[in-house]
Amino acid sequence: MLVAEDRVDAGPVAAVTDDEVTVNGALRSLDGVPVHTNALDWLRSCGLTGSKEGCAEGECGACAMLILTPRADEGADVAGAAWTAVNSCLVPAQALRGQEIVTAEGLGTPEALHPVQEVMAAGGGSQCGYCTPGFVCSMAGEYYRRDRTPVGDERTPAGSERTLAGREGNGFDLHALSGNLCRCTGYRPIRDAAYELGMPDGDDPLAARLRHPAPDPSPTDVTVDGARFVRPETLDEALTLLASEPDARLVAGATDWGVDVNLRSVRAPLVVAIDRLPELRAFRADDAEIELGAALTLTEVAAALGDRVPLLSELLPQFASPLIRNRATLGGNLGTGSPIGDALPALLALGASVVLASRDAERDVPLEEYFTGYRQTVRRDDEIIRALRFPAPRGELAAFHKIAKRRFDDISSVAVAFVLDLRGGVVADARIGLGGVAATPLRARATEQALIGRDWSLATVREVAPVLGAEGTPMSDHRASAAYRAAMLENALRKLFARHPKPTARAVAR
């Protein structure tokens, strides 16, 4: 298990220059690093070879590192920071300027192992060791989670459902490791190690660092080998640049762009990082409407919303993995326009609209009018997705069904989002969003019309389920056949009724 000779010191590192990043407490320069080099390759070129490339697309977690980010507390603007685990293979190295990261080598020393390293070693949580540094970083991110609270000394019997899927007595959320894959240990020793962790000591330097704000990324404009990377300070600056450079590649979390760079050798002459633009990170919620900044990460969205939007509360834990959610954004899902982006069916069902900003004006486009074809949208080259808006839920029956080959950390074969307004046992309104069954995400219009005005009953569901199965134009590919996708659409409505045969308590109260 790789460790460093020096541990990270408490407190922010001073005098960081525009081309530097703090790595394991020491400053390293990014001067001359190519624009399309990811953080993993750069770290390994610096001799920090603990992180590994397993898949180069954010599915295995072997490359995980910790990055210091602002706290994502629910609905609060509080001081302090969080150690956030991310896939280093997807982060552009140049995007790290001015920031602080910790790799597996920076957690402890050979003489004084970090608590996470200790429990992994003692419990036999590593065999070949290839994935271990990534597991250690993800585990450390959960170890330092601010609201992790022990619930007692009791231990759940091994093999129980709660042990396999939830939190142990030490408050460790096992899903924090759902983005890390291991082919050797069978996961049980790793799980047991996670449940043996205590709480950080008072003199733990990484815990002490969280009492100070995370640094802001440095404004950047660098050209290396003919390619340019820009991190503008304001939305106006970004829009001005986009107006003069319409072919610029906008990047937020880079969870999609990073895959194109790594696996398809896609290159762009100009990359513009917009993930930290303040204008794209606003959150507003009132009794009528909710607005989410397009550059808020999915982790931040979940923290800000809490339980305000039940549909998104169902969706977000199923979206890829924590390593991806800690970087991915709703704006990125909309920007790529992929028909299998999990957030899009839910946003369609919520009646969302997209706020598009240009130098001249903003416009508000209903999401169902936003997609024009496969990965094509109405967004102009001079526009940036600033935010999403949708009506505040008022007690509707909401559910998100995802059909995938793996329970977690997988792309959907089919995704279905339901929002039904039930009044007196009758379907007064219905919005159903679908993904994976057409060239674009779409509303299930025929099914919605077939449900409205009908009793919410088994007879209605049996009659309407084939209508839902006929929606879209599903195709056969390596994930699922067209017939399977159609069958899953039918079953989604039956499953919804099986789980919610009566109106919800909130709907009745309304």
146: tokens are 């601010």
20-209 against 278-391: fold identical: no
pLDDT digits (tens, 9 = 90+) for 4-25: 444 455 565 554 678 899 999 9
Mean pLDDT of 187-211: 95
462: tokens are 């049996």
Residues 212, 213, 215, CA angle at the centre, nearest 5°?
A: 125
pLDDT tops 70 at residue 163: no
pLDDT tops 60 at residue 165: no
Question: Sorting pLDDT into bands at 50, 70 and 90, what band is 79?
Answer: low
Question: Sorting pLDDT into bands at 50, 70 and 90, what band is 153?
Answer: very low
More confident of the two residues 167 and 146: 146
Q: Any idea which architecture 278-391 has in CATH?
A: 2-Layer Sandwich (3.30)
pLDDT digits (tens, 9 = 90+) for 416-438: 999 999 999 999 999 999 999 99
pLDDT digits (tens, 9 = 90+) for 337-372: 888 889 999 999 999 999 999 999 999 999 999 999
Question: Sorting pLDDT into bands at 50, 70 and 90, what band is 506?
Answer: low
What is the reported pLDDT for 166? 64
What is the reported pLDDT for 505? 54
What is the reported pLDDT for 274? 98
How far apart, in whole angstroms, are the C-alpha atoms of residue 13 and residue 17? 11
pLDDT digits (tens, 9 = 90+) for 368-385: 999 999 999 999 999 999
What CATH number does domain 397-509 carry, 3.40.1010.10, 3.40.640.10, 3.30.390.50, 3.40.50.2300? 3.30.390.50
Specify the 3-state DSSP secondary structure of 306.
Answer: coil
Residues 64/48, Cβ–Cβ less than 8 Å: no
What residue spans define the domains of the chain?
Answer: 20-209, 278-391, 397-509
Question: Sorting pLDDT into bands at 50, 70 and 90, what band is 1?
Answer: very low
Residues 423/392, Cβ–Cβ less than 8 Å: no
Phi, psi of 442 (to 5 degrees): -150, 160
How far apart, in whole angstroms, are the C-alpha atoms of residue 177 and residue 371? 34
Look at the domain 20-209 and name its fold.
Answer: Ubiquitin-like (UB roll) (3.10.20)
